[in-house]
Chains A and B, each alone.
Chain A
Amino acid sequence: MFYRLSGVHHTRYEDTRRLWPIPADRRLVAVLFLLALSAPLWLSELYLQNYLLPWLIWSAATLSLTLLMGVAGQLHFGYAAVMAIGAYSAIHLVRLGVPFELAFIGAGLVAAVIGCLFGAAALRVKGLYLVMATLAMQYLVDWVIVNVPAISGGAHATLQAPEARVLFFSFADGLTRYYFAFFWAVFMTLFLLNTKRTSFGRALVAIRDKDYAASVIGVSPFRYKLLAFFSSSFFGGMSGAVLAFCFYRAVTPEQFGFNVSTQLVAMVLVGGLGSVIGAYLGAAFVLLTPMILSNGIAALSDAGWLSVSANLLAHLPLMIYGALIIGFLLAEPLGLAKIYDNMRNYFLVWPFKHSRR
C-alpha cells in the first residue's frame, strides 16, 4: 500500500519495457481513464462541455506540438495556423459531402502538407531564426484565411461547422462531442508515449540533441526534420478539426491567431518540454489559472473587499497569464512535469526514503 515498489521484481526485459512498468502507475492511469470515461455521469453538463472538453482537446493539440518541440526540438510559433488549416479543411470537406471520418484524415493531410512548408525553414535555420520564420508564416496563413472568401466565408465571418456524424453518432449530441474529444486525447497520448520508444522517435531525439552529430551517425536531418513537421502538423490539423467540430462549432480566424500560438507554446513549456503528463498539466494550467484567479479577484471586488477598476479587471487574465509564464520559467524551467516527477519519486518509496528507486 505505502511502499509502492514492494514486490516489483521484473524478471523479463518485456516487463521493464512496458509503458508503465510499476503497478502503482498502471492503477493510477486506469483510475484516471475510468474517471474520464464516466465523467458525463458525475459531472454537470456545464463543466463537461466548458472545462473538461476543451481541456482534453487542448491537451491533444499540446501533445502534437510536444512531438515537434519536445521530442524533435524544432521550435514552432505558428502552430495555431496549422490547427486553423485543419479546422477549415475539415469543415469545407464535410460541406462538400465527404463523410466526417474521411474529412478528419483529409484535414490532417492538408495541414501536414502546408505544415511541411513551415518545415522548409527548419531545414535552413534553427533556434531563434526558426521562431521568427514560423511566426511570419503564421501571419501569412492568417491573412490568406481572412482574405480568401472561399475559405473563411468572407472577412469577419464565422463559418458554421456543418451537421456531421462520426460512426452513426451525431455531433449535435453533447455526449458524442465529449467522447470523440476523449478518444482523440487518449489516441494522442498513446501515440506519443509509444513514438518515444520507436526508431523514429529516437531519430527525432538525436536531431534535437544535435543535428550535425545525428547526421554523422547516419540519421538524415533533412528527412527527419521534415517528417517531424509532417507528422506533428498532421495531428495538429486533426486536433484543429476536433476543436472546430466538438468545441467551437463555428470558427473564425481570430480563434487561431498568433496569441493562440503563443498559448500553445506556453502550454508545452509550462507543462515541461517533451513530457506527456506535462502536456495535460500545462494545458490545464494555462487555460484555467488566469480564468480562476481573475474570477476570484472579480468576486472579491464584487464583495467589496478589494477595489479594482473594471478596466484593470478586464486586463487581469492577460497579466496573470504573462506573470505565470515568467514565474514558471524562472522557478521551474522543467515545468509542471518535473514537479509531478519529484512528488512521484518521493511517494514511490515513501516511507523508506533510503531505498533505491
Chain B
Amino acid sequence: MDFLFLAELFVNGLSTGLMYSLVALGITLIYKASGVPNLAQGAMVMLSGYLVWAVVSLLSWPLWLAIALAVVGMFLFGLATERWLLRRMVGQPVIMIVMLTLGLDIFLRGFVPGLLGAAPKRLDLGIGLAPIIVADVFVNRAYLVGAIGAMVLIAAAMLFFRTRLGTKLRAVSDDHVASWAVGISVERAIGISWGIAGVAAVGAGTVWGSVQGVDWTLSALLFPAIAVVILGGIDSLLGVFVGGLVVGVLGSVIPGYLDPIVGGGTRDVVTSVLIVLTILFRPYGMFGREDIERV
C-alpha cells in the first residue's frame, strides 16, 4: 500500500471536506433558526459565484469589492427569499416547504445561467496553481485556501451565536412561541438567518468558483452538503465542521482506490451511502438534537 498516495488523498479530502462544510453552513444556519431545510443553498452558492464573477469580469472591479458587493447582495437576497417566499409557507407540511426551496433551486438554475451565460467562467482569486509540497505530499493550493476560508467562516458563525443577536437566534431556534412571548421578533431572527446563509453562500461560491469554474454545476454541491448536514446533525455547527471532514475524507480516499477498479463516479456513491446509513442508524446525526414526537 502506497502510504504517500493515501496521505495525499487524506489531506486533499480534508480540504475538500471543509469546503463542503462551507456550503452546508447555510443549510444549518437556516434550519437552526426556522426548521426549514433549504434545498436552494446550492443554487444560492451558484448565484453568488456568478455575482462575484460578473462584478470582476463584466465591470472589471477589484476582487475584494466584488466579494463585498456579493455579500451585501446575497444578504438582501436571503432576506427577500424569507420575506416573500418562506414566511408565507409557515405552518404548511414539510413536503410543501421542501418543494418550494427545490422550486427556487430549479428557477435559479435556469435564470442565472440564462442571464449571464451557461459556459463555465474562470474566477481567478490570484492564488496560483503550483501545489504546495509538504513532506512529499502534494497539496492543492486553491483547496487549501478554501479550507482556511471555511474554517474562518465556521468559527465566525460559532462566535456569532455568542453575541446578543446570536443569542436571540438560538432562543428562536429553541422555541418560537416562547421567544415571541419574551419580545424577540421571530420573523426578523429567521430573516437574518437567511441573510447570513446568503453571506455563507458567497464564501462557498467564491472558493468553489475559483476551483471548478463558475457555471450551473456549482448548484450540484447541494448533494455533498446534504450528506454533511445529515451526518453531522442538521442543527449543529460542530456537526457541519466534523461532518464536512468525514464526508471529504471518505469521498476522497474511497474513490481514490475504488475508481480505477469500477470505472469512476464512486464519489457520489460514497456520499449517498453515507446519507442512507446515517439515516438508518442515527437519523439526527452525530451532534444533532433528537426530536421527541408526541401523539
Contacts and interface: CB of A to CB of B under 8 A. Distances in A.
A285 B117 CA distance: 28
Interface string B49-86: 00000000000000000000000000000000000010
A140 B276 contact: yes
B58 to A, nearest CB: 15
Contact of A326 (B107, B113, B265): B107
Interface string B258-271: 00001101001101
Given A315-B114, A317-B110, A319-B111, A326 B263 contact: no
A318 B111 CA distance: 8
B106 interface: yes
* Dominant secondary structure of chain B at its interface with chain A: helix
Contacts of B118: 311, 314-315
Given A212-B293, A269-B95, A311-B114, A326 B103 contact: yes
Contacts, number: 142
Interface residues of B, number: 46
A314 B118 CA distance: 10
Interface string A103-146: 00000000000000000110011011101110111011001001
Interface string A186-197: 000000000000
B108 interface: yes
Given A139-B223, A266-B99, A128 B37 contact: yes
Contact of B272 (A127, A137, A269): A137
B100 interface: yes
B94 interface: yes
A315 B295 contact: no
A303 interface: no
A76 B187 CA distance: 30
Chain A CB count within 10 A is highest, among B113, B223, B279, for B279
Given A139-B268, A143-B265, A329-B100, A321 B92 contact: no
B32 interface: no
A322 B262 contact: no
B89 interface: yes
Contacts of B99: 265-266, 269, 325, 329
Contacts of A121: 276, 279-280
A199 to B, nearest CB: 22
Contacts of B114: 311-312, 314-316, 318-319
A150 interface: no
A262 B110 contact: no
Contacts of A125: 279, 283
B102 interface: yes
A210 interface: yes
Nearest to B113: A315
B271 A139 contact: yes
B186 interface: no
B156 to A, nearest CB: 27
Contacts of A265: 95, 99
A138 B223 CA distance: 12
Contacts of A146: 265
Nearest to A148: B262
Contacts of B100: 325-326, 329-330
A300 interface: no
Nearest to B115: A312
Given A135-B226, A136-B227, A314-B114, 18 more contacts: A75-B98, A121-B279, A124-B279, A124-B283, A125-B279, A132-B226, A132-B230, A140-B273, A140-B276, A155-B263, A319-B114, A322-B105, A322-B107, A323-B103, A326-B104, A329-B89, A329-B92, A329-B96
20 contacts: A75-B94, A120-B280, A129-B279, A131-B37, A132-B226, A132-B275, A139-B269, A265-B99, A269-B96, A311-B117, A312-B114, A314-B114, A315-B111, A319-B110, A319-B111, A322-B103, A325-B102, A326-B104, A329-B89, A333-B92
Interface of A: 69, 75, 120-121, 124-125, 127-129, 131-133, 135-137, 139-140, 143, 146-147, 155, 210, 212-213, 216, 262, 265-266, 269, 273, 311-312, 314-326, 329-330, 333
